Every structure is written in C-alpha cells, then in structure tokens.
Amino acid sequence: MKACYPGTFDPITLGHLDIIERAAAIFDELDVLLMVNPRKKCLFDAETRKKMIEVSLASKGCSNVNVIIGEGLTVDFAAKTGSKAIVRGIRAVTDYEYELQQATANLMLDSDIETMFLIAKPEYSFLSSSVVKEIALNDGDISKMVPKEVVQPVMDAIHERYDLLKG
Ligand code: ADP
C-alpha cells in the first residue's frame, strides 16, 4: 500500500526524518509530499526544501521513498498519486487538536483516504522547524536537530535572510 507524508518541511528536522523512516518501513511506497501553500511564508523555496529532504535520505537506503512537490488539497493530491493513507506526526496534545481537525476535514472530503498518526520519539518531541530557525538565527547549535547534510545550508540561509532584513 502507498501512503504520503505531507508537510511544509521548512526545513526538514530529525523528527521529520524519523517519521519518514518509520512510515517507509510500514508502507510499500511513501511519497513525502511537500505541500506548497502560498499563504505560508517559508524560509526556503520548495525546490531547496525538496533537495534538503533528498540529501538527508540519501544515506538512509529508503528506496521506496519519493519526494514530491504538490499544491492544493492534500486529499486530492493523495488520490491523484495513488496514496491510500496520509501519515502525520504527533508530538504533544497541542498537535493533536490541530491534527484531529485536519484529519476529520480530510475524511469528510475523501472517505477512501485514512489518516494515520505516528507519535514522535521522546527525543524529538520538542523539535520543530520553527525552533530550528530560531536557534540558527541566534547562532545556536542545530547539529542535533537537523540531518547533518543540512546543518550548514540552514545556517547560511538564515544568516543571508537576516543580513537582508538588516539592510
Ligand atoms: P505542517 O505545516 O503541515 O504542519 P510540518 O513540516 O511542520 O508541516 O510538519 C509535518 C508533519 O510532521 C506534521 O504532522 C507534524 O506534526 C509532524 N512533525 C513535525 N515535527 C515533528 C517531530 N519533531 N517529530 C514527529 N513529527 C513531527
């Protein structure tokens, strides 16, 4: 069975990577769905985010994982690409409320596609792309938070953006 793991991944974290590896071990095929939402301001453009996920996966041997850029409704994209399930990660109760709302809406839109939740590993339960960006902006150490391949690209991009803001 094929599933998809939709998200923003701005940038990918070790928490995301862990969910990808665990989902790839359950499903025959997994699409990491990088959903482009024009209303969401991202630090990295979609192509850069896609490349970051791909380089992070390169050493993992997940041959059944593809990274795809999509837009519109996740259920429509899932149906179009043949996914029967949507995988999401839950870190804490705060995630649960939002995720429950999304999953219920998706079920109403397409009852053929199920949402399946994987809980975050305790060591990643605090980890989010926003936390990574905040720490990077303040020159903190993000090497235990993002895949090693993307540590430097994240640091470079965040400082480039910050310098632009400073004028
Ligand atoms: P979105 O904007 O769709 O929430 P994210 O990239 O922030 O996109 O997250 C994608 C999915 O990964 C969400 O289900 C989120 O709860 C989950 N997730 C984010 N960080 C972690 C983490 N550290 N551990 C496990 N799951 C996570």
The reply to whether ligand 1 has any atom less than 6 angstroms from the CB of 127 is: yes
pTM comes to 0.95
Average pLDDT, the chain: 94
Distance 31 CA to ligand 1 centre (A): 15
For the stretch 84-121, pLDDT in tens is: 999 999 999 889 999 999 999 999 999 999 999 999 99
Mean pLDDT of the 10-26 span: 98
Confidence tier at 40 by pLDDT (50, 70, 90): confident
Q: How far is residue 162's CA from residue 167's CA, in Å, rounded to a whole number?
A: 9
Distance 89 CA to ligand 1 centre (A): 6
Lookup result for tokens 């990491």: 32
**111 catalytic residue (yes or no):** no
Q: How far is residue 55's CA from residue 149's CA, in Å, rounded to a whole number?
A: 7
Lookup result for tokens 């490349």: 51
Active-site option among 39, 40, 41, 166? 40
Amino acid 165: pLDDT: 62
